[in-house]
A and B are shown apart, each in its own frame.
Chain A
Amino acid sequence: MDNTVFSTKIEPTFENVSATRLAVEAACKKNYPQPAAEPLIGELLMAATEAMNNAVEHSGAKEVEIELAAGAQGLIFRIKAAGKRFDPPAEIGFPDLDGPDGLPEGGFGLAIIREMVDAVDYAYNDGKNTITLTKYISKS
């Protein structure tokens, strides 16, 4: 069974994303206090931040729901926002840094999400996009 260890509803602003990231970090560290977990928690936070930023930029929702659960395998971060259905591209890669237009200034978010966690799940139910990020962390 997964236990919810943190949940909140926020108005989607970048300032709220930063505040929520800090709250999620505190909840992660409370459940996985061992120093070995710290870099893994850091990676989950990077993915979670990109997912929250995307909700702020693209969902148009008035409210975003955030939930963190601690399960047997590790941490599960879930974000829900009302809006048009979002289907991720079939292939997600980092932007080309050597393209004709020079260095890209954006387009890194989805690839960072994919890179930093063990599983990413996109679902659409009741008019809401739900993104679930799973990060395996051992208890010992």
Chain B
Amino acid sequence: MEIKIGMDGDFVIAELSGDLVAATAEQFKSQLWKLLEKNFMYVVLELSKVTFMDSSGLGACMAAHKAFNEKKGALVCTKPSETVAKVFRVTRADQKLNMAGNRLEAVMFLQNAVLKARQS
């Protein structure tokens, strides 16, 4: 698994490729936690190049979602492949995680999250 980190305006774009599975879940978490430590609180997680995800990968996404929420940030997932989307769907995780159809939707979601955080 690889994570390419880039920026889109104020937001981090983390593009995953390869397998998000038991063998790679810890690496995934440690990279995302590093972003939080550096106060990058708003992240788009692009999943279109993830080839396979198992329950450990799903658990890592859940953990990351919670960690960003706890720090008053937000993590939004985009464009999982059908194989990966199926795991989100059958576990109903897609109803709990922030999911966006594309980068633009994801960025708009994060802009809203920033506004809400400022108002509260």
Q: CB of A76 within 8 A of chain B?
A: no
The 8 Å CB contact of A49, one of B21, B62, B65, is B21
Please, which residues of chain B bring their CB within 8 A of the CB of A17? Answer: 21-23
- Segment among A65-73, A79-87, A101-109 that sits at the interface with chain B: A101-109
Contacts of A94 in B (CB 8 A): 90-92
Question: Do residues B54 and A105 form an inter-chain contact, with CB atoms below 8 A?
Answer: no
User: Do the beta carbons of B22 and A112 come within 8 Å of each other?
Assistant: no
Interface string of B51-90 (1 = CB under 8 A from A): 0101110111011011000000000000000110011001
Q: Which residues of B contact A15 (CB under 8 A)?
A: 23
Given contacts A18-B23, A102-B66, contact A45 B52 (CB under 8 A): yes
Q: State the interface size on chain A (CB cutoff 8 A).
A: 28
In which size bucket is the chain B interface?
Answer: 20 to 34
* Contact of A35 with B by CB under 8 A: no
Contacts A39-B82, A53-B54, A115-B90; A103 near B66 (Cβ below 8 A): yes
Q: Give min CB distance, A43 to chain B, whole Å.
A: 8
Contact flags A42-69 to B (C-beta < 8 A → 1, else 0): 1101100110010010000000000000
Q: Residues of A contacting B86 with CB < 8 Å?
A: 42-43, 46
Which of B55, B65, B66 is A50 in contact with, Cβ under 8 Å? B55
Quick check: is A6 within 8 A (CB to CB) of the other chain?
Answer: no
Known contacts A94-B92, A97-B93, A112-B90; is-contact A106 B55 (Cβ 8 Å): yes
Is A108 within 8 A of B21, CB to CB? no
| B95 CB-CB contact with A under 8 Å | yes
Whole-angstrom distance between the Cβ of A54 and the nearest chain B Cβ: 10
Q: Is B2 an interface residue (CB 8 A)?
A: no
Residues of B within 8 A of A53 (CB): 22, 54-56
Q: Which residue of A lies closest to B64 (CB)?
A: A105
Would you call B21 and A18 a contact (CB within 8 A)?
yes
B83 touching A42, Cβ below 8 Å:
yes
**7 CB < 8 A contacts A-B:** A53-B55, A94-B90, A94-B92, A97-B95, A102-B66, A103-B62, A112-B55
Closest 5 CB pairs of A and B: A14-B23, A108-B55, A105-B59, A14-B22, A103-B62
Known: A14-B22, A103-B96, A108-B58. 13 other contacts (CB 8 A): A13-B23, A14-B21, A14-B23, A17-B22, A18-B21, A46-B87, A102-B66, A103-B65, A105-B62, A105-B66, A106-B56, A108-B91, A111-B91
